[in-house]
Amino acid sequence: MRPPSSDKRAREAKRDQKAREKEQRRLEKRRDPSSRGPEIVSAADIVGDLPSIEEVMESLQSNAPVERRAPSIPTKLFVGSLSDRTTSAGLRAHFEPHGAVMEAVVITDRNTGASRNFGFVTMADRKTAPAVISALHHSELDGNRIVVNVATER
């Protein structure tokens, strides 16, 4: 039987060193609190304050209207045929009497800064969108008859 060569001893030492390093990483990971899995949250953390089952049953039995606490969902509207003079502030002012406006933007050319004659208005509640569209579609803003539709993805 031949004695182990120095190459073989070096390979074995390297393998043993890797095993020790792997074990060390495993122990460090076990001690790390951030690696203990997903954070556990309650339904109240996600949804918010909800009425109890007893409160809902009582309101149903008394025929009282059930108060909904769900947050409103915003809706983005496309506004076309804008005048060159129309600004984002003017667009917002035109839409605000018909509902809460989160954002109003007139799109401009990157190079020249001139209006591209269209924009977007984000209404705070999607339930107001049909009424806003019917009220403002073909209405006049800064001398032009504007077009109002629900915005779609490109």
Tell me the per-residue pLDDT of 23-35, one tens digit each, with 9 for 90 and over: 999 888 877 766 5
Q: Is 92 helix (H, G, I), strand (E, B) or coil?
A: helix
The answer for residues whose C-beta is within 8 angstroms of residue 41's C-beta and 6 or more apart is none
pTM here is: 0.57
Please give the Cα distance from 102 to 88 (Å, whole number).
12
| pLDDT at 61 (0 to 100) | 82
CATH no., domain 75-150: 3.30.70.330
Asked if residue 19 has pLDDT above 80, the reply is yes
Please give the Cα distance from 128 to 108 (Å, whole number).
27
Mean pLDDT estimate for the chain: 86
Asked if residue 122 has pLDDT above 90, the reply is yes
The answer for residues whose C-beta is within 8 angstroms of residue 78's C-beta and 6 or more apart is 118, 120, 147, 148, 149, 150, 151, 152
Q: What average pLDDT does this structure show over 101-113?
A: 94
Please give the Cα distance from 23 to 97 (Å, whole number).
67
Domain assignments of the chain as residue spans, ordered by start: 1-69, 75-150
More confident call, 31 vs 138: 138
